[in-house]
């Protein structure tokens, strides 16, 4: 065994332990948070491990699956693609802030439940945050089959085959009066 191979891990460990800590101030689900964090810490890990907000799921960790979607300053974003320090000063909303404080589901959550828009549920927080962001941004969302599938295109689901998720989005739009005047 060479001295070099024996030393490499401890050098790496010592680099990790000597990481500078940067002060991070942000608002998460209405609470002002101030923490010192490593500049390498991902936003998804900050939310899950530092704040205990484990409703934000982590699947691919490379921006593909959408499971880690949260809202940053009102827009859907993948928290696995951002460093926590990049969110300094931002307002973050996670799935934990979507239902009412008394536990009443948000209409989008209610629609997913009613329409069986989930099976294992691993992807669900990401879908909910993506749809919520879309509904809050677009006053008149495109609720055609193609429009809804386009809306959902940033999130992957391994279980449902998407049909029930599409139905859930349409139902959520109805519950939120986003689908225009009721016909008939």
> Dmax over Cα atoms in the chain, in whole Å?
81
- Joined together, the tokens standing for residue 35 give 């923490």
Q: How far is the CB of 21 from ligand FES (least distance, A)?
A: 25
Cα 125 from Cα 147, distance rounded (Å):
20
Scanning 12-20, 24-32, 120-128, 132-140 for contacts with ligand FES by CB under 6 A, the matching segment is 120-128
Cα 70 from Cα 119, distance rounded (Å):
21
Residue with tokens 């948070």: 33
58 near ligand FES, rule: CB under 6 A: yes
Cα 108 from Cα 5, distance rounded (Å):
54
Q: Is 174 exposed, middle or buried (0-12, 13-18, 19+ CB in 10 A)?
A: middle
Tell me which of 121, 147, 161, 180 binds ligand FES, using CB under 6 A: 121
For ligand FES, the binding residues in 9-48 under the rule CB under 6 A are none
Show Cβ contacts of residue 22 under 8 Å, excluding neighbours closer than 6 positions. 36, 37, 38, 39, 85
Q: How far is the CB of 165 from ligand FES (least distance, A)?
A: 8
Cα 142 from Cα 103, distance rounded (Å):
29
Task: Tell me whether residue 8 or residue 120 sits nearer to ligand FES (CB atom).
Answer: 120
Tell me which of 118, 129, 169, 172 binds ligand FES, using CB under 6 A: 118
Tell me which of 120, 136, 144, 145 binds ligand FES, using CB under 6 A: 120
147 near ligand FES, rule: CB under 6 A: no
For ligand FES, the binding residues in 152-181 under the rule CB under 6 A are 157-160
Q: Among candidates 21, 8, 32, 180, which has minimal Cα distance to 85?
A: 21
59 near ligand FES, rule: CB under 6 A: yes
For ligand FES, the binding residues in 60-99 under the rule CB under 6 A are 60-61, 63-68, 78, 80
119 near ligand FES, rule: CB under 6 A: yes
Cα 88 from Cα 111, distance rounded (Å):
34
Tell me which of 33, 86, 113, 122 binds ligand FES, using CB under 6 A: 122
Report the interface residues with ligand FES, using CB under 6 A: 58-61, 63-68, 78, 80, 118-123, 157-160
């Amino acid at each position: 065994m060479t001295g070099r191979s024996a030393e490499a891990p401890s050098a790496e460990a010592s680099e990790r332990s000597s990481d500078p800590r940067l002060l991070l101030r942000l608002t998460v689900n209405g609470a002002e948070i101030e923490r010192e964090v490593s500049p390498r810490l991902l936003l998804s890990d900050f939310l899950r491990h530092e704040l205990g907000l484990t409703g934000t799921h982590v699947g691919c960790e490379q921006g593909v699956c959408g499971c880690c979607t949260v809202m940053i300053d009102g827009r859907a974003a993948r928290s696995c693609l951002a460093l926590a320090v990049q969110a300094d000063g931002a307002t973050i909303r996670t799935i934990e802030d979507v239902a009412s404080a008394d536990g009443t589901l948000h209409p989008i959550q209610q629609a997913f439940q009613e329409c069986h828009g989930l099976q294992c549920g691993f992807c669900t927080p990401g879908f909910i945050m993506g749809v919520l962001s879309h509904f809050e941004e677009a006053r008149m969302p495109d609720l055609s089959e193609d429009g809804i599938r386009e809306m959902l295109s940033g999130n992957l689901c391994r279980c449902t085959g998407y049909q029930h998720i599409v139905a859930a989005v349409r139902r959520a739009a109805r519950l939120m009066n986003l689908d225009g005047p009721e016909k008939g």
